[in-house]
Amino acid sequence: MLAAIESVALVGIDAVPVRVEVDAAKGIPALLLVGLPDTAVKEAQQRVDVAIKNSGYHWPGGRVTISLAPSDLRKQGSHYDLPIALALLAASRQIERPDLSDICALGELSLDGGVRPV
């Protein structure tokens, strides 16, 4: 299932809209992260995985594709943790609200599932 949520890329003092899309599908377990992520964004998998497990949820089995659009804009920072986690939980039907398209989220997740300010 596909889920999407809005976030932002911080470019100087400007906030540029970024759409975070997550597809959780059956298949061989794998993660694909696309959309010019930097190292902190690539590390989101580990933070999100542990944070959602410590919050009573689970990383879905199967193939997970995470897209940060627009794809030509470099994504930097750990503030994509929260939108990735929310979209992942919606895509894997672990939360009641599957439509997150009217929400803009940003925040770094701590390993206990708490949200850190950015």
Mean of the per-residue pLDDT values of the chain: 95
pLDDT at residue 118, as a whole number: 85
pLDDT at residue 15, as a whole number: 95
Question: What b/e readout covers 12-46, taking b as 16+ CB neighbours within 10 angstroms?
Answer: eeeeeebbbbbbbeeeeeeeebebebeebbeebbe
**Fold category of 2-94 in CATH:** Ribosomal Protein S5; domain 2 (3.30.230)
What residues pair up with 92 in beta bridges, in sequence order?
Answer: none
For the segment 39-61, what is each residue's pLDDT rounded down to a tens digit? 999 999 999 999 999 999 999 99
* DSSP state at residue 96: S
pLDDT at residue 39, as a whole number: 93
pLDDT at residue 96, as a whole number: 84
Residue 13 binned pLDDT confidence (cut-offs 50, 70, 90): very high
DSSP 7-63: EEEEETTEEEEEEEEEEEESSS-EEEEESSB-HHHHTHHHHHHHHHHHTT--PPSSE
